[in-house]
Structure 1
Amino acid sequence: MVDQVLPCEKELLLRVACGDEHAFSELFNTYHQLLGTHIYRITDSVELAEEVVQDVFLKIWMSRETLTAVQNFRAYLFVISKNHALNCLRKLAKERIHQKTLEENVTAMVPEDTSGLDTYYSLLDQAIDHLPPQQQKVYLLSRHNRLKYDEIAHQMGLSRETVKKYLQGATHSITSFVQSNIDISVMILIVSILFKKS
């Protein structure tokens, strides 16, 4: 076990601190796989682990001058990457809560009573049909197949951020379409049922 930076590694860090891109590439190649494995244990997501590794090394490069003061690079690397990974997980949890809220806004009009449901579901189908192809596919994979962001991203060859944006856009479009086209009598019926429940 190495408690401190080896002399050759200390020299490498100093070269990186001076803006040596080749040295930075060498540093990345030395640590990125080890770091990726470490982050995967925290996030349980290959895509998120890759994202964290890239972000951490970008951060190291952007603040490379501070490397001259680092005494234990491996420990330094693991601490900042763990913090970044936990921040990403917190952000992801918030996004999922937000997405759930958007989804509830779409389904909030659905009453337990079957009256008006046929109209509602018909409008829902029409709204989905009106979505752009990519948005529609993301929405169906999420809502019908119950796939997670990472799974949809992998299946469609998109980034997780793009999947999130498509899903938010689709949910917003569907909500607007249903609210704009639902018959006023059905709306009154649904609202009255919802008020009776409360």
Structure 2
Amino acid sequence: MLDVIPCENELLLRVAGGDEHAFSELFNTHHQLLGTHIYRITGSAELAEEVVQDVFLKIWLSRESLAAIQHFKAYLFVISKNHALNCLRKLAKERLRQKTIEENAMALIPEDNSGLDTYYSLLDEAIDHLPPQQQKVYLLSRHKRLKYDEIASQMGLSRETVKKYLQASTHSITIFVQSNMDMSVVIALAAIILKKS
């Protein structure tokens, strides 16, 4: 049954009034079930976690509207499903864009692949120049294919720090290789870096 039970109705009113403790209670009551629901839609635990966090942030930011909601569970599942589908659409567009860039760039590489040899050589050198923590995060992500949470756990860092290190290392590598490579292969570099991001 999706109707709001009396105690949950009271909880929603408290959240609507800005009660952070009530919000934590609401989150703890629903986040696991919601995460499972979103995982079924996305097939990605990482994306499901992000969607749940985004949805609860949205709920908190528009908490005043909670007082008028009669079927909270249904409301929660609808807004989270919509958000998950939007994330999947955005991801699909990004992958298509990266694939197009890569295909266009590969067309510019000489048939003997000499540009790729130069690229991989410079890439190795660029990785060697990274600060130790950034280097480790980059290698765990790109070579071992670990996810943010796995890297965070292995290195004792927060997920957000892992994400920042990865962005910083990718940026540093791109700048290093671009400044040391012929322009004819720079476009290929961008495609390969984007593909790995």
The answer for the alignment partner of 1:64 in structure 2 is 63
Report whether the alignment pairs 1:74 with 2:73: yes
Amino acid at match of 1:122: S
1:85 to 2:107 alignment? no
- RMSD across aligned positions (CA): 3.7
Does the residue aligned with 2:73 lie in a helix, a strand or coil? helix
Which of structure 1's runs of 4+ aligned residues deviate more than 6 A? 98-109
Q: TM-score, normalised by structure 2?
A: 0.69
Equivalent-residue separation in structure 1 for 2:22 and 2:149 (angstroms):
33
Tell me which amino acid in the other structure corresponds to 2:69: V
Structure 1 residue runs of 5 or longer lacking an equivalent are: none
Whole-angstrom CA distance in 2 between matches of 1:107 and 1:36 = 39
**Residues 1:15 and 1:72: Cα distance change in structure 2 (over 3 Å):** same
1:35 aligns with 2:37: no
Change beyond 3 A, Cα 1:136–1:47: same
Alignment match, 1:178 = 177
Does the 8 A contact of 1:149 with 1:164 survive in 2? yes
Structure 1 residues 18 and 148, CA gap change in structure 2 (3 angstroms): closer
Look up the equivalent residue of 1:144 and give its one-letter code. H
> Does the C-alpha gap of structure 1 residues 126 and 26 become closer, same or farther in structure 2, counting only changes over 3 Å?
closer
* Number of aligned positions between the proteins: 185
Counterparts of 2:174 and 2:107, CA distance in 1:
10
Preserved CA contact (<8 Å) 2:11 2:26: yes
TM-score of the two chains, using structure 1 as the length reference:
0.68
Structure 2: runs of 5+ lacking an equivalent: 189-197
Indicate the larger mover: 133-142 or 59-68: 133-142
Q: Which of structures 1 and 2 has the bigger CA Rg?
A: 1
Q: Distance in 2 between matches of 1:170 and 1:48?
A: 22
Per the TM alignment, residue 163 of structure 1 is displaced from its structure 2 partner at its CA by: 4.7
